[in-house]
Amino acid sequence: MSLLHILLRIDAFTSVFVRKGGDGFLNVSEAAVPKDYHLLLWKFVTDDVLVSFFPSGKSSVRGAYVGRIDLLEQKYSIKLKNLQKSDSGLYTAIVTASSEEVLAEYNVTVQDPVGRVDLTVFVSSDSSSCNLTATCTADGADISSTFGCAAKTCPQEGGEGSKVTKSGASLHLSLSGSSIVCNHSNQVSWTEKTTEIDHLCLKNAGNFPTPYTLNACMLQMKMTSMDFPFVT
């Protein structure tokens, strides 16, 4: 390769996360392509050519990728279809003119959707407050937090608020309004379970004789589980 064909590289790539079975979009600005270019290639992990674009306006999708790549209306941009985990890696657009130049780099990560999440809540009380211990479990990991409820507020008093699971997803436990929320998410999907709490003890604490104070905290729980894919 002559000195005129030194490969010029950009400093950073764009990270793209795609749900398994979903599509990924790789874009090149038409304005960035030299008017006198000879060849523009999309490559996977530097060596595997996916698509070739020619100055004549013609293009060619490599045989192994026919049916898996769509050429977009935006010239030089492509859509990768039905991505699997083996499709994770670095995708590079390279143009050849007086030199070779990297126009775009995308680091694509294909992820499974997160699994189900479980939430359990243990309640204890005394004459002036309710104590809630919530445990959030998913993907072999769990976190627990304690909330001390008094005067119509339930600040977190101890435990963990978040954790990264073995698959790299996030597990998060929090109090939102009158609900304890357990959220399990990654970059392409999320699922959560909530417990709605009606703290009758906060209204009645201190108004009951001693034999009844242990029953003064009545917790009404409504479990709701939701699973949301992210649009890719």
The pLDDT, as a whole number, for residue 147 is: 80
Domain C-terminal end among 51, 80, 111 = 111
Question: Does 80 lie in the same domain as 154?
Answer: no
Strand blocks (E) in the chain = 7-8, 14-19, 24-26, 39-44, 48-53, 59-61, 69-71, 78-80, 89-96, 100-111, 118-125, 130-138, 141-149, 156-159, 162-164, 170-176, 179-185, 189-196, 222-229
| pLDDT classification of 166: cutoffs 50, 70, 90 | confident
Q: Up-side HSE of residue 133: CA atoms within 13 Å toward CB? A: 7
Number of structural domains in the chain: 2
Host domain of residue 148 = 118-229
Question: Does 106 lie in the same domain as 43?
Answer: yes
CB 70 within 8 A of CB 129: no
Question: Does 145 lie in the same domain as 125?
Answer: yes
7 by Cβ neighbours in 10 Å (0-12 / 13-18 / 19+) ranks as: exposed
| CATH code: domain of residue 33 | 2.60.40.10
Question: Does 136 lie in the same domain as 92?
Answer: no
The one-letter amino acid code at 214 reads L
> What token pair was written down for 32?
């960035």
Question: Does 224 lie in the same domain as 123?
Answer: yes
Question: Does 157 lie in the same domain as 68?
Answer: no
Give the separation between CA 121 and CA 195, rounded to whole angstroms. Answer: 8
* Per-residue pLDDT tens digits for 56-69: 999 999 998 999 99
Domain C-terminal end among 111, 136, 164 = 111
Predicted TM-score (pTM) of the model is 0.74
Domain C-terminal end among 111, 130, 154 = 111
Given a cut of 50, whether residue 211 has pLDDT beyond it is: no
List the one residue out of 102, 52, 101, 58 whose CA is nearest residue 78: 52
**Percentage of residues in the chain having pLDDT higher than 70:** 76
Question: Does 209 lie in the same domain as 183?
Answer: yes
The pLDDT, as a whole number, for residue 130 is: 75
